[in-house]
Amino acid sequence: MLTLLYIYLFIYQGTIYSTEKGSSCFLTNTDTRNDTTINFQGIDYEVPAWSVSILPDCQDVVYNTAKVNGIN
């Protein structure tokens, strides 16, 4: 069973995907100009403008879309 929880913070969003095996979380900042700090489950996370942070264990950020270097 998959459980979804959405937490809306103005233009910031935290999403939790839960199953019997565990949870994964995503933090989203849709502000196109400003980085922000999101307090999610009691922990502060720096989320760059217009990006998504992936927390596979709902605690540690392992990937953020704004920190990817593209190859041209």
pLDDT digits over 34-53, tens only? 999 999 999 999 999 999 99
pLDDT of residue 5: 55
**C-alpha–C-alpha distance, residues 46 and 60, integer Å:** 12
Residue 50 lies in a domain: yes
What share of the chain has pLDDT > 90, as a percent? 57
Position 21 in a domain? yes
| Structural domain that includes position 54 | 3-61
Number of domains in the chain: 1
